[in-house]
Amino acid sequence: MLIAFHKPMNTLSQFTDEGKWPGLSRFGLPGGVYAAGRLDRDSEGLLLLTDDGRLQAKITSSGTAKTYFAQVEGVVSDAALAALAKGVALKDGVTRPAQVSAMDPPDVPPRDPPVRFRKTVPDSWLQLTIREGRNRQVRRMCAHVGLPCLRLVRWRIGAHTLEGLAPGAWREIPL
């Protein structure tokens, strides 16, 4: 079984609640499935769940492409795009090159709570595709090039997308 779930912001990628943060058990997901990878509490978007250990390992392998929409503080420069595309040096090593482009705001549901709007600080959107999954990697990559991440939505994992899923909703994907 493979399930696509739209993880809302401030939800954990585990079934048990922790402190004030809810886990996945609140969303009526079938029993016996586990997250194939993680998505930080303050990030939102596509989380795949499965009951198949081999499939879980395949999804979480470092070769699987993951696409994110990142709302960042500031105006995206050609130099920032070039640095992200080449790979940036983080404390835990240089990242693999990313496919990256500036984009218009994507058609994603409003975030709860909304991103704080600041009249004096512009924001922009990036689309990034990476093939590794370090802790808070996209956020750290954006910050490294001077574009702090305000909102992060994982849109795609491999061939599977968030298309048509409202926050907190899930669907089974035929294998």
Give the active site residues.
40
What whole-number distance in Å separates Cα of residue 67 and Cα of residue 154? 6
Closest CA to 72 of 30, 10, 127, 34: 127
What whole-number distance in Å separates Cα of residue 93 and Cα of residue 134? 10
Adjacent-strand bridge partners of 101: 127
* 155's tokens: 């849109």
What whole-number distance in Å separates Cα of residue 77 and Cα of residue 83? 10
Asked if 80 and 99 touch (Cβ cutoff 8 Å), the reply is: no
Asked if 165 and 29 touch (Cβ cutoff 8 Å), the reply is: no
What whole-number distance in Å separates Cα of residue 68 and Cα of residue 82? 17
Asked if 126 and 102 touch (Cβ cutoff 8 Å), the reply is: yes
